[in-house]
Structure 1
Amino acid sequence: MDEILERVKTNRPALERWLRLLPGYAGYKEKEQRRDADRILRETIGQRLQELADRLLGLQRELAGRDLSHVDEIDRLVRRIQALADQIRVGRYGYAGFFDAIRVEEAALEALYQFDADLLQKVEELQKDVEPLDSAIRGGGDLLSALRPLERRIQELQVAWTRRMEVLARVS
């Protein structure tokens, strides 16, 4: 996830490079860049979750044509994923502006960024957990055993997001 932060740093205009020479500005700008990286990372997580929800909706439609027994379970998973994607996209950032009264320390910013990086990893694992469901729907396999890992992974994501928000509440 550090590559996102580095991309933000290298794309700053010449004026900002000059302003970094001002006392106090460099630390402020570093935090601002971390906030931009956090925003990009969370937008990516939200987008990947939405893509996953869309994929599950497609699988649900495919299943509905043959068997309605587990359509509701897939629908619940889709709604949970979409709700989580929305929460992640619009959740509080881990940094207050330069003139704001509330400040988040650098160590706390790093911890929040690590939470987001871990969320992205869990989303990638969730994407892999969809493969058995896809195979079960297309090949007539055991849907229940394919759905359970998805439910557990979504729960892990929700817990991780809740923990992130709790940490942010304590430091701000």
Structure 2
Amino acid sequence: MSTGRIEDFLNSIPGYGGYRSKEKRRDADRLIRERLAQDYGQLADRLGRLATRFADERDLAAVRVITKPHGRLVTFRDRVRTATYGYAPLFSETEVDEGTLDQIAAFDRSLADGLQPLGEQIEALEQSAPGTDEFITQAAHMAALVEVLHERFAGRGEIIESGKSLEPQKVAALLGVGIENRAVDRRPTAYNLHDGEAITFSGNDYTVIGRVTAELPSGTWRDFQLKGGENESWLRVPASAGGEFYWLQKVAATGEIGADKLQLGDTTFEREHDEQGTTEVIGQKGSSASSPVRYCRYRPFTGAETLHVYDWSADNLVLRGAVIDPLELQVWSREGREAV
């Protein structure tokens, strides 16, 4: 959205006059949030209708691709609509300098700026054939845009609650690059976990002791081998912010690796995905150069857990697990503490 169109958007909100007047700041905050919640809510509804269409067509793979970003967009809408700041300095008689007021206005403009690219991504999804690389890529870009919006709204709230400007470096990181470009290039913090660093999940602590970096036509991710807990656990982190995180356990399946079906206890898993790519493995015994791999994904007739199989001909790795919300992870690394 161009600067002129953003200003038109703000000026179109009845009663919105910015933050210069102390008496009107709380009203200005409420008015801009109500309008943003309304407009982002319409985009969330549109994405929800797309998910419903896929469900009606029984295209469960397509539903899974957009369920998480749709949920995150709904959460963003609700955060914007219901935010409460109590007796924040911005709304009190405390003197607030103009630089701080300018920053809040800049965050307002940045949030308005996200409407057009997000709408365009949803339109691209509507026009893409489910299951294609284009569809998966568009969904990842859309999910990344939503995460950028969450970050920007959090930055805005930090200014309001403190009544002080953010450091220029932080503002530049949040607002300095166009939302489209920033979202596409962004990788989750957890993707750069290193050996010996730790994570916390479901109240348990784990240490990274190895990883498999997979580069496949369907995407790129890292499966981190973890030490801790009762079983051998693995964490899958996507290379893009919009990808899916998995919590996995190493298992031994019955049947020929790569066959149409594999058995694990009383559960039969049927192969739903099969592709060739490369992996790089780093573990306690050293590292291996990039090597070819066959990757298969299996799904049971009922249940949410899936099997993920790496077949290197001379060796294989079978992991079982399900998609998790990265917000449930706590990361203890040099990159930061948020998984995404």
Report the TM-score, using the length of structure 1 for normalisation. 0.72
Which of 86, 105, 108 matches 2:100?
A: 108
Asked if 1:164 is matched to 2:159, the reply is no
**SS of residue matched to 1:85:** helix
What one-letter code is carried by the residue in structure 2 that aligns with 1:3?
N
Distance 1:128 1:3 in 2: 23
Which position in structure 2 is the counterpart of 1:145?
137
Contact 1:96/1:104 (<8 A) preserved: no
* Unmatched tracts of structure 1, length 5 or more: 11-27
**Shift in CA distance, 30/42, structure 1 to aligned 2, threshold 3 Å:** same
Q: Post-superposition shift, 1:104?
A: 3.9
Report the TM-score, using the length of structure 2 for normalisation. 0.39
Distance 2:49 2:16 in 1: 39
Which position in structure 1 is the counterpart of 2:233?
none
Q: Post-superposition shift, 1:141?
A: 7.8
Which position in structure 2 is the counterpart of 1:87?
79
Q: Post-superposition shift, 1:157?
A: 0.6
Which position in structure 1 is the counterpart of 2:11?
3
Distance 2:22 2:156 in 1: 18
Contact 2:16/2:32 (<8 A) preserved: no
**Shift in CA distance, 91/103, structure 1 to aligned 2, threshold 3 Å:** farther
1:1-172 equivalent positions in 2, closer than 5 A? 1=7, 3-4=11-12, 7-8=14-15, 30-66=21-57, 67-92=59-84, 95-98=90-93, 102=94, 104-137=96-129, 142-171=134-163
**SS of residue matched to 2:146:** helix
Contact 1:96/1:103 (<8 A) preserved: no
Distance 2:16 2:108 in 1: 19
Which position in structure 1 is the counterpart of 2:293?
none
Distance 1:147 1:39 in 2: 31
Which position in structure 2 is the counterpart of 1:25?
none
Q: Post-superposition shift, 1:39?
A: 1.8
Distance 2:41 2:74 in 1: 6
Distance 1:9 1:88 in 2: 16
Q: Post-superposition shift, 1:41?
A: 1.5
Which position in structure 1 is the counterpart of 2:191?
none
Q: Post-superposition shift, 1:80?
A: 0.5
Contact 2:15/2:31 (<8 A) preserved: no
Q: Identity of paired residues, percent?
A: 26
* Unmatched tracts of structure 2, length 5 or more: 1-6, 165-340
Higher helix share: 1
Distance 1:61 1:121 in 2: 27
User: Bigger CA drift: 145-154 or 89-98?
Assistant: 89-98
Contact 1:4/1:41 (<8 A) preserved: no
Distance 1:44 1:50 in 2: 10
Distance 1:92 1:9 in 2: 18
Q: Which has the higher contact order (CA 8 A, sep 6+)?
A: 1
Distance 2:16 2:47 in 1: 36
**Shift in CA distance, 107/32, structure 1 to aligned 2, threshold 3 Å:** farther
Distance 1:39 1:104 in 2: 19
Higher strand share: 2
**Structure of larger gyration radius:** 2
Provide, for residues 87-130 of structure 1, a one-character-per-residue CA deviation record: whole Å limited to 9, x for no partner.
Answer: 112224573145xxx55444323321221121011122211111
Contact 1:77/1:151 (<8 A) preserved: yes
**Shift in CA distance, 9/145, structure 1 to aligned 2, threshold 3 Å:** closer
**Shift in CA distance, 125/9, structure 1 to aligned 2, threshold 3 Å:** closer
